Structure formats: C-alpha cells, structure tokens
C-alpha cells in the first residue's frame, strides 16, 4: 500500500467526499481610467512647487480678522455680558449704533488663535460631561438691548462658566484661589438676567443660535468657574524660556506630579457667603445707562462713570475716540 492511498485513510464506514470541480474565475475586464482633462492654467499651477508660507498665512489671518471685526460691528444689535463686565460704555454704544472704525484689524493678532483655542476648550468640556443640566443657554432680552450666552447651568441654582486663559493668568488664579474680577461680573450679569428677565428671554420672537432657558424659575446660589490654561501667548511673556518657566511654576504650585490635568482647575463661589448686591447694582445701573443713551439718542458724556480708558489698548475705536 502506498502511503499516498487516501482510500485507506477514509476508513470503511465513511464515504469518500466528491472532489469539487473548481471553475476558473472569470477575470473582470478592466476598463482604462479616463484621464481628467486639466485646463492649461490649472495644470501650470499644479506643476509649480508650492509650500505653506507663514508670512502669507499671517496676511490671510489679518485679512480674515478685518472681515470678521467689520461684520461684527456692522451687525451688533445688543450689548453682551462681556460688554457689561469689561466694556467701556462709549465702546458699547458705538458698537450698538454700528459706528464704523478706521481700522478693523485687531490690535493684537494672536488673539485670533486664542479665540479658536477657547472654543475648543468649551467643546471639550461640554461634550465630555453629563454633569450639566443645560448648556449654551441663550438669554436674549431685546427690550433692554441685551444678548448673552451662559456656558452651563446645573439645576436652577448653579451657573458654570468655562474660561480658557494664558498660563500667567492661570498661575495668579491658582495662587490666590480667586477668580478674575471681570469673570465674576460676567457671571453676575447672567444671574441678574435669569432672575429679573426670565420671561422676556424665554418669550421673545427673535432668532437664537442656541436653546433658551428651560426652567420657569432660577435662584442662583453658586457660581462656578472652570479655568483651563490653554496657551502661553500672553503679551507680557517675552520669550519661550519665560513661557516654559511659567508652565513649570504652575505645575509646582499644584504639586502636580500625578495630575496630568494640571492645566485645569475649578473654583466654586457660594453667593450666600458674600454680599454681591453692590455688584448687581453696578450691573443694573450700567444696563440702564446704555439704554438711556440709546433711547434718547444722546452721546456718551466724557465724565460718565462707565467710560473706562483702561480698555483703550484693545479698543477698535481708539484711533478716533475723543475720550482716550
Ligand atoms: S478708546 Fe477707550 S475711551 Fe474710547 S471707546 Fe475705546 S475704550 Fe472707551
């Protein structure tokens, strides 16, 4: 018996499997790919060597920024919470009246990148947490020329504001364990509007890009800040070495050997433990003053308490402002 006689391996009780007939696979007919017709001028472009040019990019950013600021000033209808917390009243009135400026470019161009980074930080936190009951809440009140957006709410008593910022600001916050003053004012503006203009912000007929408040009552007892250090581009940092030192200092203050999220911290303020009534009065008065000038079609007085020349550096009206 040949060791290659398979009949003996099959055994007496088994039938031999019939060998399948293998059909040859039909070869597909490959059609030649039709070459696209490249127009002559396009073909010339493709053949030319081209690389990303940083100087050209900066010009592109500059031009886009001008376009964006121009559109913003042409279309601004209302004051924002940021305007109330940080803005000079002359600047606010000019923007709402769509007064043109001589030069629409931002005074410090890296600020454009910072706004993109800031948006990403907001998305990162809001998309990865289920702890908030409402997110990106539009609070528009046309009758007082106000429009704002709250980052997050938790139930009816906690406002959460996400703030991205450069490392040197972050360092001051973790050292003092205190939020920035303007951030507190901005959040108090939201409290003021939610508690005094809720009906109006739920029932107006204007378009909003995000959802309106969903509850019928808010009684804000806590404001909470999520601070995220996202960049080292502060105008007062002179060199990369100085920037690296700043980051290392932050890690040291936080003793962050095992904390990979050392660039993120959380500050909670219990409003029952501090008297915020003078600040709410300031907010109320500033909103009323803006509306007084608008309703009576008056120019802002030079000695108005809400004119703030500390804000002139970044102000687009600084080239032509009589108050500067
Ligand atoms: S230049 Fe200064 S004073 Fe004039 S509107 Fe701007 S911030 Fe106000």
Residue 7 C-beta-side C-alpha neighbours within 13 Å: 3
- From ligand 1's centre to the CA of 196, what distance in Å? 29
Number of the ligand 1 atom closest to the C-alpha atom of 91: 5
**Which of these ranges, 40-49, 169-178, 267-276, has the smallest mean pLDDT?**
40-49
Is there a domain that residue 51 lies in? no
Is there a domain that residue 17 lies in? no
Query: Pocket around ligand 1: residues whose beta carbon is below 6 Å from it?
Result: 88, 90-91, 307, 309, 311-312, 315, 317-318, 321, 323-324
Q: Which two tokens stand for residue 259?
A: 């904390």
The phi and psi torsions of 10 (rounded to 5 degrees) equal -70, -30
Is there a domain that residue 128 lies in? yes
User: 248, 160 in Cβ contact below 8 A?
Assistant: no
Q: Measuring CA to CA, how many Å separate 149 from each of 82, 191, 193, 273?
A: 10, 12, 11, 26
Q: Which two tokens stand for residue 323?
A: 């108050």
Is there a domain that residue 111 lies in? yes
Count the Cβ atoms, other than its own, within 10 Å of residue 289.
Answer: 18
Residues of the chain above pLDDT 90, percent: 61
Question: Domain containing 289 — which CATH number?
Answer: 3.90.320.10
Nearest CA, atom 1, ligand 1: 318
Q: Phi/psi class of residue 20: alpha, beta or left (left: φ > 0; alpha: ψ in -120 to 50)?
A: beta
Q: Which two tokens stand for residue 106?
A: 């931002």
User: 189, 279 in Cβ contact below 8 A?
Assistant: no
pTM here?
Answer: 0.80
Query: Which helix H or strand E contains 120, and what residues bound it?
Result: helix 111-127
Nearest CA, atom 4, ligand 1: 321
Number of domains comprising the chain: 1
Candidate from 92, 315, 319, 320 with most ligand 1 atoms within 8 A of CB, to mutate = 315
Instruction: Summarize pLDDT for 262-290 with one digit per residue, the tens.
Output: 889 999 999 999 999 999 999 999 999 99
The Cα 68–Cα 61 span in angstroms is 10
Q: Measuring CA to CA, how many Å separate 242 from each of 203, 235, 248?
A: 51, 12, 10
pLDDT at position 6 is 32
Q: Which two tokens stand for residue 228?
A: 């995220």
Instruction: Summarize pLDDT for 212-265 with one digit per residue, the tens.
Output: 999 999 999 999 999 999 877 666 667 778 777 777 777 777 776 677 888 899
Candidate from 289, 300, 306, 311 with most ligand 1 atoms within 8 A of CB, to mutate = 311
The whole domain housing 145 covers: 56-305
- Would you give the end-to-end CA distance of the chain in angstroms? 112
Residue 13 pLDDT greater than 50, yes or no: no
Is there a domain that residue 9 lies in? no
pLDDT at position 2 is 37
pLDDT at position 10 is 34
Is there a domain that residue 45 lies in? no
pLDDT confidence bin for 34, thresholds 50/70/90 = low
The Cα 305–Cα 16 span in angstroms is 103
The Cα 202–Cα 207 span in angstroms is 11
Is there a domain that residue 28 lies in? no
Which among 102-106, 174-178, 260-264, 296-300 has the top mean pLDDT?
296-300
Enumerate helices (H) and strands (E) in the chain, giving the number of each: 11, 5
Is there a domain that residue 125 lies in? yes
- From ligand 1's centre to the CA of 275, what distance in Å? 30
């Amino acid at each position: 018996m040949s060791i290659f006689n398979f009949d003996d391996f099959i055994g007496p009780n088994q039938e031999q499997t019939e060998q399948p007939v293998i059909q040859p696979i039909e070869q597909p007919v490959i059609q030649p790919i039709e070459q696209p017709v490249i127009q002559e001028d396009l073909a010339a472009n493709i053949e030319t060597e081209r690389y990303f040019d940083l100087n050209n990019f900066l010009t592109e950013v500059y031009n886009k920024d001008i376009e964006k600021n121009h559109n913003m000033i042409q279309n601004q209808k209302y004051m924002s919470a940021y305007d109330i917390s940080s803005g000079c009243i002359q600047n606010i009135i000019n923007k709402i009246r769509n007064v043109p400026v001589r030069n629409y470019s931002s005074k410090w161009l890296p600020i454009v990148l910072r706004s993109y980074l800031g948006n990403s930080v907001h998305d990162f936190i809001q998309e990865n947490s289920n702890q908030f009951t409402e997110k990106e809440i539009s609070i528009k009140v046309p009758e007082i020329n106000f429009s704002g957006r709250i980052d997050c709410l938790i139930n009816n008593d906690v406002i959460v504001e996400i703030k991205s910022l450069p490392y040197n600001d972050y360092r001051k916050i973790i050292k003092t364990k205190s939020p920035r003053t303007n951030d507190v004012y901005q959040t108090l503006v939201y409290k003021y509007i939610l508690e005094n203009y809720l009906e109006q912000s739920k029932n107006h007929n204007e378009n909003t890009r995000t959802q309106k408040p969903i509850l019928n009552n808010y009684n804000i007892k806590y404001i909470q800040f999520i601070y995220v250090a996202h960049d080292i581009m502060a105008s007062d940092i002179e060199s990369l070495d100085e920037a690296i030192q700043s980051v290392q200092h932050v890690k040291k203050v936080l003793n962050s050997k095992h904390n990979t999220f050392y660039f993120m911290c959380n500050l909670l303020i219990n409003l029952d433990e501090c008297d915020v009534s003078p600040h709410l009065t300031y907010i109320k008065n500033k909103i009323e003053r803006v509306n007084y000038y608008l309703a009576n079609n008056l120019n802002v007085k030079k000695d108005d308490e809400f004119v703030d020349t500390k804000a002139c550096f970044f102000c687009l009206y600084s080239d032509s402002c009589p108050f500067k």
